């Protein structure tokens, strides 16, 4: 699976959009980009995934660049409950590998 | 409701003892996984199973053992050979190895 790179931490004001970047410059053509988040002392929660096109669901939007070397997870109106570690993962035919993720702090 | 149940939530073990962590799912998923998480770190794969009676080692299988006798159950045994077992253990399941994984709420294991 391709390695992904994320900033270790980010801050976002409550009510604003949180934009979490992820670099995956070695991603291959059949690898999807998945995002999960983990709230303290709980299991990770699936958020969204995509291959080439931008995706949106009730939780977030995923923007993938045309060359697929990077993506951005957007939480449109961040709340305090969005404080968590967010993982960006490239998934192909092999097992899912979680890195250290980005710790998102939502500021009141 | 469908989901994954891990028990117990907290577990204490004396040095030299084996201990078994339970994971049950009622999602009818074929694949099940065990991960270990240390403070401030990501998840590392211990073992995974794609079908009943079959399982494969992950990245850090040494000192651990598993069984998959039923589709719903994937227990993990932390043996005395695991020298640093204190960690947060997460079980997950999915329809196959490429679909979103559903996670349990974890078991926190500590050594007395």
pLDDT band, residue A100 (cuts 50/70/90): confident
Q: Would you call B40 exposed, middle or buried from its count of C-beta atoms within 10 A (0-12, 13-18, 19+)?
A: exposed
Question: How far does the CA of residue A80 sit from the closest CA of chain B (Å)?
Answer: 20
In chain B, which residue's Cα lies nearest the Cα of A91? B98
Candidates B69, B75, B4, B70; CA nearest to B34 is: B75
What would the pLDDT profile of A5-45 be if each residue is shown by its tens digit? Answer: 999 999 999 999 999 999 999 888 888 999 999 998 899 99
Q: How far apart are CA A56 and CA A54, in angstroms?
A: 7
The predicted pLDDT at position A79 comes to: 96
A86 and chain B in contact, CB less than 8 A: no
Q: What is the band of A95 on the pLDDT scale with cuts at 50, 70, 90?
A: low
Residues in Cβ contact with A25 at an 8 Å cutoff, skipping those fewer than 6 apart: A69, A70
pLDDT, tens digit, for every residue of B3-13?
A: 999 999 999 98
Hey, how many other C-beta atoms are within 10 angstroms of the C-beta on A8? 10
d(CA A35, CA B23): 24
- Cis before residue B8, ω within 30 degrees of 0? yes
Q: Looking at CA atoms only, how far is residue B82 from chain A in angstroms?
A: 22
A94 burial (CB, 10 Å; 0-12 / 13-18 / 19+) is exposed
């Amino acid at each position: 699976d391709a390695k992904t790179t994320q900033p270790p931490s980010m801050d976002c004001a409550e009510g604003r959009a949180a934009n979490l970047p992820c670099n995956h410059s070695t991603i291959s053509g059949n690898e999807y980009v998945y995002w999960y988040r983990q709230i303290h002392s709980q299991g990770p929660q699936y958020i969204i995934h995509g291959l080439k096109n931008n995706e949106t669901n009730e939780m977030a939007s995923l923007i993938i660049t045309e060359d697929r070397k990077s993506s951005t997870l957007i939480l449109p109106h961040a709340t305090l409950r969005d404080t968590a570690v967010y993982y960006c993962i490239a998934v192909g035919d092999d097992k899912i590998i979680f890195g250290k993720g980005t710790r998102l702090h939502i500021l009141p | 409701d469908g989901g994954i149940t891990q028990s117990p939530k907290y577990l204490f073990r004396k040095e030299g003892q084996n201990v078994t962590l339970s994971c049950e799912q009622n999602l009818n998923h074929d694949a099940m996984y065990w991960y270990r998480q240390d403070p401030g770190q990501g998840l590392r794969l211990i073992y995974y199973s794609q079908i009943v009676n079959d399982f494969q080692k992950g990245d850090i299988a040494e000192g651990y053992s598993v069984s998959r006798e039923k589709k719903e159950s994937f227990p993990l045994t932390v043996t005395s050979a695991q020298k640093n077992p204190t960690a947060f253990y997460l079980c997950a399941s999915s329809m196959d190895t490429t679909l979103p994984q559903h996670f349990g709420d974890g078991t926190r294991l500590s050594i007395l």
